[in-house]
Amino acid sequence: MIAVIADDFTGAAELAGISLRYGLKVSLFTREVKDTGADVLIVSTDSRSMNQEEALQETRRLLEQLIALNPSMIYKKTDSVMRGYVTEELKLQQALQGLRKILYLPANPSLGRIIKNGEYFVGGKPIAETDFANDPEFPVSSSSVKAILKDPEVSVLSAGSTLDAEGFFVAAAEQTDQVEQWAAVLDEQTLAAGAGDFFTAILLQQFQAVDKPDPELSLPIVYVCGTAYAEAVRFVKKAVPDGWVEYLSQHSLLHPDRLDQELVDLCKYRLQTHSKLILAIDGEAIPEGINAQDLRASMAKVTQWILRRNIIHELFIEGGSTATAILEELKISELEPVNEWQRGVVRMKYGNLYITVKPGSYALPEQIKQLFS
């Protein structure tokens, strides 16, 4: 059994989707871990949305549960652009597993995210010149990998380099075949960590891809936009005139535990009229003093109210921390991944409800674009 520990829910789901490509049975957990007999067992710590002390405590707790299951490896999934407490969590895992080396490959060349000459590039631009510079929780101020990781002892290795016996190494990669070359040098004393491309390369060494049919949506559907990423914000605004967008009210943002009957009734009306609803937050109307955690709590509470009062077949959630907040509000801690729409966009089953999650910085599937256009 291969185990994965991810620092947010959409990252965990992304690797679940990659595993499905190879015909593997996958179980995905939050909060607790158990052996289900799955080929790949994935747990999300949601540590990226915590403070550092809480993040390390939760990472330690779930790592200890995974280690007790004696998997063949524990892959550490981080954000591909290194947001979060990457260095601290990697060193914690290395110590708990008693490993001599860390090989960290966050680049995703297949998505235009590369490491070249010690710097990180997204779509050909230095990352500090992209939307990631405006991230509300982990803004990127430098494109230097060492600066982002805040660890001068990290060694950034060019493609084709050899690993020393001990150390913390970041692997540069500009092309997918270079990622595969890095996967080939892993041994039992190396902690493998990074993003989706590296995990894919590791699976390729052991398994063959299988054909999977595209998922078919079942209405009614609620699309929760829980990201400030510019493309997602533009998509929601463009859909406003069509009548299926509802922004959270000031009441819901200021008093998340108090039912906003007017908002819930409006959402019900839109679902009865269109069988689809986009639930979002207007970034220009957020009350003073409300932080990102408050926004997630409000969105989770409103989503719960909507699901309780309407028959919903599909829940599409954009944003990893938002997805985790909603799942916690719904008391969902175990899901069965069933479909991969596209890279990073994974559909999972919980009872009669299908839940799809997507990282905020990844592209929307064409099926979703067409449905809401």
The predicted-structure confidence for 161-207, as pLDDT tens digits, reads as follows: 888 889 999 999 999 999 999 999 999 999 999 999 999 999 999 99
Locate 22 and state its tokens. Answer: 């190879």
CA distance 115 to 173: 5
Tell the residue number behind the tokens 């871990």, with chain if given.
33
CA distance 99 to 227: 36
pLDDT band at 232 (very low <50, low <70, confident <90, very high): confident
> Does 77 score more than 90 pLDDT?
yes
Percent of the chain with pLDDT over 70: 100
Phi, psi for 219 (deg, rounded to 5): -80, 155
Neighbours of 32 (CB within 10 A): 11
What end-to-end distance do the CA atoms of the chain give, in Å? 42
Locate 314 and state its tokens. Answer: 């599909």
pLDDT band at 78 (very low <50, low <70, confident <90, very high): very high
Q: Let me know: does 322 contact 349? Beta carbons within 8 Å.
A: no
Report the candidate in 149, 173, 191 with the shortest Cα–Cα distance to residue 3: 191
Locate 307 and state its tokens. Answer: 């699901």
Using CA of residue 346, residue 350, residue 355, residue 361, what is the dihedral sign?
Answer: negative
Residue 195: CA atoms inside 13 Å, Cβ hemisphere, count?
A: 26
pLDDT attached to residue 144: 94
Cite the DSSP H helix spans in the chain.
9-20, 52-68, 86-97, 145-149, 176-183, 196-204, 230-239, 250-254, 261-274, 292-309, 320-329, 366-371
CA distance 243 to 276: 10
Eight-class DSSP state of 281: -
- How many angstroms from the chain centroid is the CA of residue 153? 27
Helices (H) and strands (E) in the chain, counts: 12, 18
Q: Let me know: does 283 contact 333? Beta carbons within 8 Å.
A: no
Eight-class DSSP state of 242: G
Mean pLDDT of 149-171: 90
Give all domains of the chain, ordered by start, each with its CATH number.
2-204 (3.40.50.10840), 221-371 (3.40.980.20)
CA distance 343 to 339: 11
> Does 239 score more than 80 pLDDT?
yes
pLDDT attached to residue 160: 84
Neighbours of 129 (CB within 10 A): 12
58 in helix, strand or coil? helix
pLDDT attached to residue 362: 79
Q: Which amino acid does the sequence have at 265? A: D
| Mean pLDDT, all residues of the chain | 92
Structure-model confidence comparison of residues 313 and 287, the more confident one: 313
